[in-house]
Structures are given as C-alpha cells and as structure tokens.
Amino acid sequence: MQVALLTIGDELLIGQVLDTNSQWISSFLYENGIELATTLTVSDNKAAIGEALVHAARTNRVVLITGGLGPTMDDLTLEAIADHLEVPIVFNEETYARIEHIFKELIKRPLSPLHKRQAYQPEGAQTLENKQGTAPGVWIEKDEVIYIAMPGVPREMKYLMTYEVLPRLLPLASTKTRKEVTIHTAGWGETQIATAIQSVEESLPEHMTLAYLPSLGTVRLRLNAAGDDVSSLEKELVKWKGEIVELLPKEIVYGFGDTSLTEVVQQLLIEKKMTLVTAESCTGGMIAHSVTNQPGASRVFYGSIIAYDNSVKKKLLGVPEHVFEQYGAVSEQAVTAMVEGVLPLLGADVAIATSGIAGPSGGSPEKPVGTIWVAIGTRDQIITRKLSFRHDRQTNIARTSITAIDMLRRFLLMA
C-alpha cells in the first residue's frame, strides 16, 4: 500500500517550526508495517495544496495530511481537499456542538466566531474525533484514493494516528510481518563499518535490508526483515545480527534495540558501584545535561563544575598556574589537572574533563579551532585524548560531549 504524507504550513517551509510530525508519522507507520512512499511540505496556499494532492494521488493509495485545520483564514486544507475532489464544503452540526461544549465546559471562555470554520468539511467525509483539541480529523475516499486530514499540533495528530487512523489503515495494509533489530556503534564512521561487514551485507537474503543511520560520533545499523512467519524472521535476525557483530571490534558496539549511550554508561556505573562528576570548559555542561537526561541519573551522578574561565579552573579545581603558562588551558596537562581537582571536590569515583576551542574564533596555528582535550579518570588512573574537529561551534561541542561519554564507557569496561 503506497502512502504519501503532506505537511502543510509556511512555518515549516521557512524554518520557524521543526517538522517533527513527518519523523513521528514515518516511524509510527513503519513500526506497524506500513512504509511512507513520499513526503512533501506545502505552503498555506490553496493552489499549492491542490497541486500537491494531485501529485500524491497519482501513485499513492493513501494521502495523509497534517496542518491547516485551524480556525484562522490561512487554514485552507479542507477547502483545498474539497476543490481537489470537486465536492462542496458542508457544515457539520455535530462537530460544531462538540466545539461549543469544549469551550463552555472545559476551556470556559467564549467561543470565537472563527471556530465555526472548524465545523466545515468536504461533503461525504467521515469525521475523526479529536479528543486532544477542537479540530476534528477527516477521512474521505474518492477514485480508490483515501485522503486523511489531521491537525498539525503534534499531540492532536498523534492521538488521531493512534486511535482513529491506524486501526482503519491496518486492514488495508500488506499481511506481511516486518521485524527488525538495531545495532548501536560508537567510534567508527559508516564507511569503516560498511567495509568491515561487506561480506555479510552482500550475503543478506532478498527479504532483508541493512540501513546505516549515522549521527555525531555514532552509527546505528538497522537490520530489517519482512515475511509471513514471525518466528522464522526473529531467528534469522538473531543469526545475521551475530554475524555483523562478529566482524566489528567489540569496543565499538555498545548496545541493541532502544538503548542509548548514556543508558549504557549509567548501567556500567551502577554495576561497578561508581559515581560520576564532570569538569567542563568548552562543553559548558552539555555532558552533565546528557547524563541527567537519563532517568535514574541520581543513582550515579553527583554534579558538575562548569570551569569556563581559567580563574575557576584555578580556584575551584586547583589547576596550577604553571600549567596555563607552560601548556595552556587547552592541553593534556590542563584536563588531567581538572580531573584530579574535581574528584576530591565533589567526592565521586570517576570524572570527565573537557577543555578546547569550539570556535568560530580563538584558534591559533598550534591549536586551531576544533582542538579539544578530554580526560577520563579516577584517583588511580587517568586517560586523555586530543580531538581535532572541523565543524561549527555547536557541532564541535555536541560531538565532544558524545565522544567523552563514549570514552567513559570504554574506560569503565576496562576498570
């Protein structure tokens, strides 16, 4: 079953709002055995929406639409659908009564005349009840194509997709089952991984696919299989996953499924009964933020010192003056001293320290922008690593944080 997705809104096209709906819908459908064939973002213009509907309907059985169902004059999706299908827009009394009830009993403020616009829909459409907002969804079929319009507000769209749309789509979808496994890696790029596992990838059966999903410092490998027998698919996936992992260095594979790098690190700290602190300069607390984003962080994380200025490195962390004079703040000696200072200060077992030049200015021929030092250590052992990045400031900081967390993971594995 071919499915297209149209997201409507000028705010999406000019970058004022991030299009998270497309990502969520594609993932949600995929998990339920339905794949999107195409996605398209369209402006709040009736003619543009109409052209997009014509294009999507040529090759797709289902056209999903989000956005443009609000009460204001720029919400034109339903009018565009009606024009495309050559049907009139009609007033739905039940929908309007529901909107009146919401404003009177729940919101408890006067109903604007503009909200009456949300009670109009193309003639022949089925109403999809939206229990998260005032704008209902719409399901309408013509010439063997199904058009499904939903609000662009994420929580409202997700409710409709989950409780109204998916239950109606599943009986129309393929009966084949889809299963997948995800292998998480850190430290190697996708080209290195692809070279290492080339023999396995070339041997995969036709009903299986392997996708590389790179991010900053990490790569996810998604192995997918489609067929009729769930048990057979699961056994096959276990077999091929094992063959892939066997060809990769053990230290780069950090988990499977829905795990995250910080989750793996947290579990290692719990297993080893160790606590963590950070002393961050160029990363400005991003490492601590990543760690505390993980539920249960209080079991292993004590705190952080954001030692951005050298005076803080000296006063709080005890970095000697001669380190700055002889080696500079961006040096192996500086981050080593930061680890040595923060451990007794905050009373933890292991620490991460960072210091570098994130950019865009501040570099020199000896230490160009993107030069960053990271130290990981305990009172008995400290390891360091010099990073050389060529990204923008935000990316340099983010990649340093991920690299530091992965360095900690490897350090804990050896502890």
- Which of 231, 256, 281 terminates a domain? The answer is 256
Per residue of the chain (415 residues), give pLDDT as tens.
899 999 999 999 999 999 999 999 998 998 888 889 999 999 999 999 999 999 999 999 999 999 999 899 899 999 999 999 999 999 999 999 999 988 888 888 888 888 889 999 999 999 999 999 889 999 999 999 999 999 999 999 999 999 999 999 988 887 677 889 999 999 999 999 999 999 999 999 999 999 999 999 999 999 999 888 889 999 999 999 999 999 999 999 999 999 999 999 999 999 999 999 999 999 999 999 999 999 999 999 999 999 999 999 999 999 999 999 999 999 999 999 999 999 999 999 999 999 999 999 999 999 999 999 999 999 999 999 999 999 999 999 999 999 999 999 999 999 8
205 and 333: one domain? no
Query: How far apart, in whole angstroms, are the C-alpha atoms of residue 192 and residue 249?
Result: 11
99 within 8 A of 111, measured Cβ to Cβ: yes
What is the residue range of 323's domain?
264-414
30 and 161: one domain? yes
233 and 284: one domain? no
198 and 236: one domain? yes
Q: Which two tokens stand for residue 130?
A: 């939206």
Domain of residue 53, CATH code: 3.40.980.10
165 and 184: one domain? no
12 and 156: one domain? yes
Query: How far apart, in whole angstroms, are the C-alpha atoms of residue 257 and residue 249?
Result: 19
Q: What is the pLDDT of residues 98-154, one digit of tens each?
A: 999 888 888 888 888 888 899 999 999 999 999 998 899 999 999 999 999 999 999
Provide φ and ψ at 232, rounded to 5°: -65, -40
User: Which segments within 357-412 are labelled E, that is strand?
Assistant: 371-377, 382-388
Domain of residue 192, CATH code: 3.30.70.2860
- Which of 210, 239, 256 terminates a domain? The answer is 256
Domains contained in the chain, number: 3
Prediction pTM value: 0.77
Closest of 415, 337, 322 to residue 373, by C-alpha: 337
319 within 8 A of 334, measured Cβ to Cβ: yes
Which residues partner with 94 through β-bridges?
Answer: none
162 and 182: one domain? no
221 and 94: one domain? no
158 and 208: one domain? no
- Which of 238, 256, 274 terminates a domain? The answer is 256
Query: How far apart, in whole angstroms, are the C-alpha atoms of residue 338 and residue 314?
Result: 9
235 and 145: one domain? no
238 and 108: one domain? no
Q: What is the pLDDT of residues 312-321, one digit of tens each?
A: 999 999 999 9
Domain of residue 272, CATH code: 3.90.950.20
397 and 316: one domain? yes
